[in-house]
Amino acid sequence: MASSELHIISTGKQPIEKLAEIATEIQEYVDFFHLREKQMSALQLYQAVNILTEKNIPLSKIIINDRVDVAWTMKTFGVQLAFHSLDSGVVKQAFPGIRVGSSIHSVNEAKEVSEKGVDYAIYGHVFPTNSKLDLPPKGIEGLKEITGSTSMPIIAIGGIKPSNCSFVLEAGAKGIAVMSGVLEAEDPLQAVKEYSKALGKRV
């Protein structure tokens, strides 16, 4: 995975048609769109991927959260596994060639999934965020510890704004993941351009 990637993760609150509308507008500046829709069935996720591709979002930019079956069937970029998902080693063995990401929260988890062949990991939350008010942020030092413990690419998530992107990249993250910062912004296109600029991308 290239450095300074921008991952946009669906909020689970927007109709998929609204997500597709925003994705079409911003996709030029986005490396990956994660469908993180816990309330959706496999069939609904399958339909959601079709809606995105009908809006010219390439399958190579779509990552499915948790549902390996949908990711494999639709030939999306890959699957993002959580703590409740199938074991990453099992997925790698059963679905050879599929790109697998894992959500991690500690050095031990980073080492464990890396040994199982996971392609990248999402780590957080780095900064305070409204979606995790009951949990203290890991902070930049926590992120540095993670990136220093593995050669696996680490994508940082949680409270990341254009103004603090530089701290995250300096800590060794290969990119960032954003949810509401773009998808719930008054002007998603302007927001994504600000993130892109902060990540050193051309705008």
Structure tokens, 83: 């703590």
Residue given tokens 């980073």 in the structure block:
110
Q: Per the residue annotation, which of 34, 84, 105, 125 is the catalytic one? A: 125
Structure tokens, 122: 């999402």
Alpha-carbon gap, residue 151 to 141, rounded angstroms? 17
Report in angstroms the alpha-carbon separations of 202 from 43, 65, 197.
37, 28, 7
Report in angstroms the alpha-carbon separations of 142 from 1, 154, 166, 171.
22, 12, 16, 9
Residue 125 bears catalytic tag? yes
Q: Exposure of 89 by Cβ count < 10 A (0-12 exposed, 13-18 middle, 19+ buried)?
A: middle
Structure tokens, 197: 């600029």
Q: Which residues are catalytic?
A: 125
